[in-house]
Structure 1
């Protein structure tokens, strides 16, 4: 069986791994383990607690034991509630507020690492780096811009790490990524026929990326990690379908999107036998997503653009600070806070499919070392989003003007089991 067929088989066998639920800024998912959740993922590229370091900084595998596995998941419950204030769909009715557009999801992860020699390590991670789902009631005010928007990813990440001396390690990984997207909306405000016609895009893509990192032991009490995950260029291909073939016949379609690259600088500082401080600063290149044309690739209008999604994203920063308190040989308590900047530039450019805004993380976690080999982590976080205004006018394209305010928040619960042997 060739590698591509193996990857396809994994993707089809584990669809739940690609659950969509945005909670980091944009539709990036930071929840690649539960062990970092309690610290708001501060120190993510510098803390080698278990094999999940493969995602954040593969160089950290050199700090693990000979063989380690880690399995976990995060339950994410976002809430996006819209209040109408000026939406215009003339001649169609304005519509309702759409209920809560946030959709809960379970985001699992799994990792394994193995020491080939004292200095060379190999590992594999399976994770979900991006995801998003917003879904409104059928009669909501912005139904001509979006009724449902769902992005799912699955990422398989084989990695190598090499230790140079006692203080310096390098890591590198490849990333095979599967992406699925579904976008549903009502056709147009123009007349009764188009107002009751549903347009759906279902498309998927496979693509490759890479990640790398370094880990430096600055002193006996300080670790510094620097990591980079590359952009991934996807060419989504699928079907553009309609509930009314006279309004819009079913055709093949494609959309090209580049998922952004991220750089992380992390510090872990041991203050005493009982306390350590963690810091993180990361930069995500969201400006790689500007406009996303949906292009027909079959039918009488082959080669024409059915619709363009105007995101016009900006690059973002994330700052996190955390602390870990050791209570005894079995228990640790974790604390964290973070500021996460949104890639949305303005009220006018905010999309109803991504009612995103800057957010503050507050988190708490605990770690229980069951025995010499087994560790359990649990964590919880609450993400506060400030009031989010929208005034997206697509009237010239027949999709109306959506104006109003979103109130939003996200709650996350995570658990992780790690085994070293």
Structure 2
């Protein structure tokens, strides 16, 4: 099985932001900073410790110094070890089913960048760059689930200008807009049954590939409440983003000639509508004494917006027809996180965190080979080093425990076989964030 590549570089103009295999449930990327890793992102909408608050709650900019910049990178290492347990490929049990095991994960980097600027003592503006969603899963061409998916690649690039206003000493509000680009590539083998009974040997190397992209807009709002000198509560909401992917759908390989596929059907234009989910976060930070601080987080993600994705031909003799439907049928999910900080001295702060993150996948029958997702539990630790009053370095590490993940996705009636088996999965995350006031 090929390694799963979980990051790509963005053009230099966008600071080389990457996509990746999601560390949060579904294909969400929580690594919009590395400073939150040590707390498992507990308190994300309330902590406001650097300019990355622009993503989690823009109202938090009012807690920052006059001008701040924050740059970070997270290294993510997922592991996906699939064990085949009776899969049937192309509705033909005698067909070879190699590539049923092996680790499909590898290291990759997810960078981020933020800038916050105070126009006066109460009004702040800022901009953030990140990749809130991403997924790349790639298998060998002859793997056991090749008729359902060989490669599935989703990348998002998000630019988020924001504004925040301090209403009074107790309340701050903020909001922003996001320009988001989504790029998708989906590849699988094509099932061709020219004799109406079974695939002809040697024709399984024919591939269908969708390559499409979209630009769309979203928005986010937030509020931060300072209830006492020791307690803050943050709430934030990030909207859905409606994408209309447009691109090319190609069929290439020996089966096209054998089955008499006319050239006008081998490469056509296609489109697909995808609504990326909205999120809502409630966070709290509470100082217990001069040393200890507790952090909490409850977040909701509207994954039910990702239901059935129709890939529709928009050119050629079959324009308007559905080439394939990706049946995700996701459900809305919750995530709960609890964190703690211990102030060791004026220079060092230690961070700890634990979180439980629900999967949007309903059951093994609806689990996709491109997204072998399951519930996950975060165990995190980190440290913050204050080099000076204006310079801070955060380091964090997390291990994500994922229970055994069963899959039994039966698409034999559609000519894409049945994938039955079990994934053994886990994720490691390492990160560093440098923040500077100037």
Fold-level match, TM-score > 0.5? yes
8 Å contact 2:19–2:133 — kept in the other structure?
no
The corresponding residue for 1:64 is 64
Counterpart-to-counterpart distance in 2, 1:353 and 1:408: 14
Aligned match of 1:84: 84
Which string of whole-angstrom CA distances, capped at 9 and with x for unpartnered residues, describes residues 14-49 of structure 1? 484132221100000001101110000000000011
- The equivalent residue for 2:278 is 261
Q: Does 1:242 align with 2:242?
A: no
Structure 1-normalised TM-score?
A: 0.95
Whether 2:121 is the aligned partner of 1:118: answer yes
How far off is 1:99 after superposition? 2.8
Match among 214, 221, 224 for residue 215 of structure 1 = 224
Query: C-alpha distance in 2, partners of 1:215/1:144?
Result: 49
* Aligned counterparts, 1:19-418, within 5 A: 19-89=19-89, 90-91=91-92, 92-188=95-191, 190=193, 191-192=199-200, 194-244=203-253, 245-246=256-257, 247=261, 249-418=266-435
Structure 1 unmatched ranges of 5 or more: 1-9
TM-score relative to the length of structure 2: 0.92
* Secondary structure, aligned partner of 1:386: coil
Deviation at 1:66, TM superposition (A): 0.3
CA deviation digits over 1:95-128, x for unaligned, max 9? Answer: 3215323343211100000001111000000011
In 2, the alpha carbon distance for the partners of 1:383 and 1:297 equals 42
Q: Following the alignment from structure 1 to structure 2, what is the Cα–Cα distance between the partners of residues 18 and 296? A: 30
- Per-residue CA distance 1:77-98 (angstroms, 9 max, x = gap): 1111110012011423233215
Q: CA deviation digits over 1:228-268, x for unaligned, max 9?
A: 00000001111111223545501111111000000000000
Q: Give 5+ residue unaligned stretches, structure 2.
A: 1-9, 194-198
Return the alpha-carbon distance in structure 2 between the equivalents of residues 102 and 133 of structure 1: 10
Matched position secondary structure for 1:29: coil
Shift of 1:196: 1.7
Residues 109-155 of structure 1, C-alpha deviation per residue, up to 9 Å, x if partnerless? 00000001111000000011001111112221000000111111110
CA distance in structure 2 between the aligned counterparts of 1:328 and 1:189, rounded to whole angstroms: 68
Conservation of the 8 A alpha-carbon contact between 2:14 and 2:129 = no
How far 1:12 sits from its partner (Å)?
A: 7.1
Indicate conservation of the 8 Å contact 2:357/2:376, yes or no. Answer: yes
Q: Distance in 2 between matches of 1:106 and 1:55?
A: 19
Q: 1:388 to 1:274 in 2, by over 3 A?
A: same
What SS does structure 2 have at the residue aligned with 1:55? helix
Give the root-mean-square deviation of aligned CA atoms: 1.4
Give me the whole-angstrom Cα distance separating, in 2, the residues matched to 1:15 and 1:273.
38
Q: Is the contact made by 1:111 and 1:124 (CA closer than 8 Å) also made in structure 2?
A: yes
Question: Counterpart of 1:7?
Answer: none
Q: In 2, Cα distance between the equivalents of 1:169 and 1:307?
A: 47
Q: Distance in 1 between matches of 2:75 and 2:224?
A: 30
